[in-house]
Structure 1
Amino acid sequence: MLEKFERIKLGHFPTPIEHLKNISKYLGGPNIFIKRDDCTGLATGGNKTRKLEFLIPDAIKNKAELVVTVGAVQSNHARQTAAACTLMGLKCLIILEQRVKDPPEVYMNSGNVFLDKLYGA
């Protein structure tokens, strides 16, 4: 079904599935696994890479020069969008919403916010 949509490769897929032996043992029997989407490779990884592989080509197809996205101050989605835009030669504008009450200054200028700026957003 996805074959009818244009896609660009932004991530390393499939990502591994890892057995969490200690947690499984602690819970007394059920085998617990985790999907390692931190291994996608785009801007320190994350599950948003999958959708961006379809959204970015659509923006290019429609001759967009700027991609606008909205997210919380430390949004992983915003970080990955900025990285994808940079890779594909698009400008990116991120509208960040402050959802944490009275955050320290370091919260507002480090982590994903810092990476967003490095990617030119």
Structure 2
Amino acid sequence: MYLAKFPRVELATLPTALQPAPRFSKALGGKVNIWIKRDDNSGLTLGGNKARKLEFLLADALRQGCDTLITTGGPQSNHCRMTAGAAAKVGMQCHLVFSSSSFDLRQGNLLVDELLGAQLHWCDPAEVDDINKEMSKLANELQAQGRRPYIIPLGGSNSLGAMGYVYAVREFLQQADALGLQFASFVHASGSGGTQA
């Protein structure tokens, strides 16, 4: 199979459930039959769909002999939380670069990031116009310290990360086929654009 050519690190509990949502369907007038793919129950660091991307990105990082992950997002980013969890799971360092003023109040995902051992880096958005340059600068500093960093783009959204969703669609189609279902539409949320890639 084509997907087998791409190494992945198993981080998520897959397959995630495909469940009917009868009350939601009824609330929409009962003329549609809504089903939900439950990637919120993926099992990695409080769940979420980013585990799918990270399985392929981490495999690439490990293949290259990297020992440190660097990524970016907002202070309450699910992607950052899951990257910190993935790094902790495989024994890597994690550095999160935020284009935001430092938050004194540690709660939500930011608290989880720290509990997972991630190192937080704050960049004043008034002074930083390209967060990717800041991640590269940090990578150079870490290399000078003997680390082997791997930069993951915002949301894990690149061609390799998108393989996680190729895998997800295959999983979804297999589940639908096993249940004898055909769907007219597929709707998903999107932030960094990698899900629909």
TM over 0.5: yes
- C-alpha distance in structure 2 between counterparts of 1:24 and 1:82, whole Å: 36
Higher Rg: 2
Shift of 1:105: 5.1
Per-residue displacement from partner, 1:36-93 (whole Å, max 9, x unpaired)? 1111000011101011111111111111121100001100000000000111111000
Do structure 1's residue 113 and structure 2's residue 115 form an aligned pair? Answer: no
CA RMSD of aligned residues (A): 1.6
Aligned runs of 1:1-121 on 2, under 5 Å?
A: 1-28=2-29, 29-98=31-100, 106=105, 109-121=106-118
Report the 3-state secondary structure (helix = DSSP H, G, I; strand = E; otherwise coil) of the residue aligned with 1:96. Answer: strand
Per-residue displacement from partner, 1:10-50 (whole Å, max 9, x unpaired)? 11111011211112112222011111111100001110101
Shift of 1:7: 1.1
Percent of pairs with identical residues = 43
- C-alpha distance in structure 2 between counterparts of 1:2 and 1:119, whole Å: 30
Report the 3-state secondary structure (helix = DSSP H, G, I; strand = E; otherwise coil) of the residue aligned with 1:115. Answer: helix
Report the 3-state secondary structure (helix = DSSP H, G, I; strand = E; otherwise coil) of the residue aligned with 2:45. Answer: helix
Task: Spell out structure 1 runs of 4+ moving beyond 3 A.
Answer: none
Shift of 1:113: 0.3
Report the 3-state secondary structure (helix = DSSP H, G, I; strand = E; otherwise coil) of the residue aligned with 2:73. Answer: strand
Q: Where in structure 2 are there 5+ consecutive unaligned residues? A: 119-197
**Which amino acid is 2:91 matched to?**
G
- C-alpha distance in structure 1 between counterparts of 2:17 and 2:79, whole Å: 21
Q: Structure 2 vs 1, CA of residues 113 and 5 (structure 1 numbering), >3 Å: closer, same or farther?
A: same
**Which amino acid is 2:39 matched to?**
D
Shift of 1:97: 2.8
Q: Where in structure 1 are there 5+ consecutive unaligned residues? A: none
